[in-house]
Amino acid sequence: MRAVIQRVSSAKVTVAGEVTGRIDTGLLVLLGVAQGDGDEDARWLAEKVVALRIFEDADGRMNRAVGEAGGGVLVVSQFTLLASTRKGTRPSFNDAARPDTAIPLYEAFNRFASSALGRPVATGRFAARMDVALVNDGPVTIVIDSRIRE
């Protein structure tokens, strides 16, 4: 499972003209589910994301987690994070999990993240064409992969 986490001052997802998720200060999480991922990947990654200390404290140092900063979390499914460009110039998405596996794991990630945050996370709509608008704060962008736990 791979996540691109962006610290934002605002973010929203729109599907067919309808806003499906919106946050002010917080984290926009673009989430890709890989073949072979399981509930343990979803739990580990969700807890890691919510615990990341990337919000500034009173001294201006990145030392607070999203919950401590009073922020929200917006999770958007994005299978293209699993793209392989090893051969040629057309990306292969063979490493991405199929929807019958990816949907339950995306939902599990959202449940684990909500539990770690102590409130619901906002979401996009799985497999929909989404417009994502954000204001990256910093900018701060971090990539985490559940298979590379360092």
Domain ranges of the chain: 2-145
92: which strand partners? 84
- pLDDT by residue (tens digit) across 82-124? 999 888 899 999 999 999 999 999 999 999 999 999 999 999 9
**38 contacts 105 by C-beta, under 8 angstroms:** yes
Known catalytic membership, residue 80: yes
- pLDDT by residue (tens digit) across 21-64? 999 999 999 999 999 999 999 999 999 999 999 999 999 999 99
Known catalytic membership, residue 78: yes
How far apart are alpha carbons 87 and 33 in whole angstroms? 21
- Do the bridges between strand 62-64 and strand 18-23 make them parallel or antiparallel, or are there none, so unpaired? unpaired
**Eight-state DSSP code of residue 38:** -
Which is catalytic among the residues 6, 14, 78, 123? 78
Which residue type sits at 96? A
Is the pLDDT assigned to residue 149 strictly greater than 90?
Answer: no
Q: What is the CATH number of domain 2-145?
A: 3.50.80.10
Q: Look up the pTM and report it.
A: 0.94
Which is catalytic among the residues 79, 109, 112, 123? 79
